[in-house]
């Protein structure tokens, strides 16, 4: 009989665990090395002792293969040493799953044998609100209820109650005690939280946390700092976060965040972008200009979660539709942000007179005064539909100079070769092998204009590409674009 080496068992479990954690792999790729590193990373986060955490991170670095996995593990080693929380255990903070908030409170009107029609009519209904589905009986605002999973920790609590935390990243004390020590760490806690406690305090326990009232404010402190029970409101059972919004999660946004930082002052809004049932991937961009206003490129659907995320980084003032095709959501944004101005490609006002565009971008590439000096554009006026002879996309491309980033909509795409559904792979094949050659052979009408446009684009100083379809290119962007356009020689001047 063969025996399986313990290392092989650990590796097998690590790979299974990595595979099971859909969407929460945090930069650890599906390789044996990264799977083992991911196991160490999870162990590091779960331990309550800083020395053990660092030992796990160091162990993980011995296995990690991908740069993102190594960076995640190094971030644990770079975390500042404990100061005022020295010796304290880590506060339990976790994200709930959708199943865990799926309970629905329904009033019971009595027994079928004894209930009356009037009693049934009097039976209260409730309003649910917040991502935690907090429940409140209509007309009784003084008391709200929230349904939580009946985990042992809650089932055994004698007097449980919950407190809402409107913005968890702003609750610095809680974030720090839960191990989110740096500003970057705390940004990961965007959104609301819920603190669950048992008002029956019991014997003080150094491993627990307590909610105290100090000078009229409530504060969570570790058990090591609990001096007496007199101002203690209860023992903290845990802090939790609502389920992530799955509507954001897609191959162009695997983390499912409303806004994802790409580089300094540039964020991505990756969303499913369906075409005949195929997710062809949509990616809008937000740039924060030097005056703090936000420049939105090719906007996608605006919702409450996205509005809240945007409000944290600046004020939306410039909404840009860069071609005739990416126009569906501009009017929604213009209504939501009345101080913002709509900008479109040349000809947009005649094509969509009711959409609310104030400014057409210049065919001579003169930047609007609002972002002159930071963003430049090039109008791709050479392109046409070979069947009708008319402009097709009529696209304008941009360069955000401070980040050295080039923005394209349908002129350039970068579909990944893995990590998407089969239908999207077929779409990639069609775009790369059929549409790409067709564009280059038949849609470039005026070679003089084409060369002038390419000359301007390649003369800009940039090395990153932000495409609306596909993943951002973070280095050697000009080489990538040259390959995409099959410009074998030096870029045209
Ligand atoms: Fe497109």
In the chain, what are the domains? 6-78 (no CATH), 82-91+152-243 (2.10.109), 104-146 (no CATH), 246-485 (3.60.15.10)
CA of 410 to the centre of ligand 1 (A): 5
Asked if 351 and 266 count as a contact pair (C-beta separation under 8 A), the reply is: no
The string of pLDDT tens digits covering residues 42-91 is 888 777 677 788 888 899 998 888 888 888 888 888 766 556 666 778 88
| Average pLDDT taken over every residue of the chain | 86
The DSSP element (H or E) to which 467 belongs, if any, is: strand 464-467
**The token pair that represents 245 in the structure block:** 């919004």
Q: In 21-110, where does DSSP find H-type helix?
A: 32-46, 50-63, 67-78
The answer, yes or no, to whether residue 493 has pLDDT greater than 50, is no
Ligand 1 centre to CA of 330 (Å) is 14
Q: Shortest CA distance to 150 belongs to which of 41, 36, 237?
A: 237
Q: What percent of the chain has pLDDT over 70?
A: 91
Distance 344 CA to ligand 1 centre (A): 15
The pLDDT value given to residue 7: 63
Rounded to whole angstroms, the Cα distance separating 221 from 209 reads 6
Nearest to 332 by CA among 307, 359, 311: 307
How much distance in Å is there from the Cα of 37 to the middle of ligand 1?
Answer: 37
Taking the model in full, what pTM does it have? 0.59
- DSSP-derived 3-state class of residue 227: coil
Check residue 2 and give its pLDDT: 44
Residue 195 is predicted with a pLDDT of: 92
User: For residue 475, what pLDDT is reported?
Assistant: 94
- Residue-wise pLDDT for 169-215, tens only, equals 888 889 999 988 877 777 778 788 999 989 888 888 889 999 998 88
Using the mean position of ligand 1's atoms as its centre, give its distance from the Cα of residue 284 in Å. Answer: 11
List Cβ neighbours of 392 (8 Å cut-off, separation of 6 or more): 324, 383, 384, 385, 443
Distance 265 CA to ligand 1 centre (A): 24
Distance 269 CA to ligand 1 centre (A): 15
Ligand 1 centroid to Cα of residue 91, in Å, is: 45
Rounded distance between C-alpha atoms, residue 305 and residue 259, angstroms: 9
Task: Identify which has the larger pLDDT, 89 or 362.
Answer: 362
CA of 409 to the centre of ligand 1 (A): 6
d(CA 320, CA 367): 13
| 411 Cα: distance to centroid of ligand 1 (angstroms) | 9
Helices (runs of H) and strands (runs of E) counted in the chain: 15, 22
Strand ranges across the sheet with 134-137: 126-129, 134-137, 144-145
Over residues 308-326, mean pLDDT: 95
CB 447 within 8 A of CB 382: yes
């Amino acid at each position: 009989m063969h025996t399986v080496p313990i290392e092989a068992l650990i590796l097998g479990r690590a790979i299974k665990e990595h595979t099971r954690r859909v969407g929460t792999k945090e930069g650890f790729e599906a390789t044996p090395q990264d799977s083992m590193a991911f196991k160490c990373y999870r162990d590091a986060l779960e331990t309550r002792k800083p020395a053990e955490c660092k030992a796990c991170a160091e162990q993980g670095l011995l296995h990690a293969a991908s740069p993102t996995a190594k960076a995640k593990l190094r971030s644990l080693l770079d975390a500042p040493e404990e100061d005022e929380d020295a010796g304290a255990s880590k506060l339990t903070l976790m994200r709930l799953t959708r199943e865990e908030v799926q309970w629905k409170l329904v009033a019971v009107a009595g027994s079928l044998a004894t209930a009356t029609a009037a009693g049934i009519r009097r039976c209260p209904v409730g309003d649910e609100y917040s991502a935690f589905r907090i429940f409140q009986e209509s007309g009784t605002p003084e008391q709200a209820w929230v349904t939580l999973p009946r985990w042992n920790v809650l089932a055994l609590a004698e007097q449980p109650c919950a407190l809402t935390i409107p913005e968890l990243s702003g609750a610095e004390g809680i974030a720090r005690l839960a191990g989110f020590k740096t500003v970057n760490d705390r940004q990961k806690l965007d959104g609301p939280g819920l603190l669950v406690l048992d008002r029956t305090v019991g014997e003080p326990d150094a491993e627990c946390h307590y909610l105290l009232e100090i000078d009229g404010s409530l504060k969570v402190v570790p058990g090591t700092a609990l001096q007496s029970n007199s101002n203690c409101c209860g023992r903290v059972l845990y802090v939790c976060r609502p389920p992530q919004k799955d509507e954001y999660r897609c191959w162009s946004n695997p983390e499912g965040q409303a806004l994802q930082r790409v580089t300094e002052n540039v964020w991505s809004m990756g969303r499913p972008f369906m075409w005949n049932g195929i997710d062809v991937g949509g990616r809008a961009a937000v740039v924060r200009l030097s005056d703090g206003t936000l420049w939105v490129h090719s906007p996608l659907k605006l919702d409450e979660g996205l509005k809240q995320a945007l409000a944290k980084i600046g004020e939306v003032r410039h909404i840009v539709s860069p071609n005739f095709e990416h126009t569906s959501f501009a009017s929604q944004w213009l209504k939501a942000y009345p101080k913002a101005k709509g900008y479109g490609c040349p000809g947009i006002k005649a094509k969509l007179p009711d959409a609310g565009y104030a400014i057409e971008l210049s065919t001579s590439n003169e930047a609007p005064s609002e972002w002159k000096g930071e963003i430049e554009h090039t109008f791709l006026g050479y392109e046409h539909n070979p069947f009708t002879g008319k402009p097709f996309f009529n696209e304008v491309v941009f360069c955000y100079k401070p980040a050295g980033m080039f923005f394209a909509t349908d002129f350039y795409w970068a579909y990944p070769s893995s990590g998407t559904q089969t239908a999207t792979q077929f779409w990639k094949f069609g775009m790369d092998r059929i549409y790409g050659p067709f564009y280059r052979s038949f849609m470039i009408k005026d070679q003089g204009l084409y060369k002038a446009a390419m000359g301007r684009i390649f003369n800009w100083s940039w090395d990153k590409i932000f495409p609306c379809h596909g993943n951002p290119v973070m280095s050697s962007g000009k080489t990538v674009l040259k390959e995409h356009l099959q410009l074998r020689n030096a870029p045209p001047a």
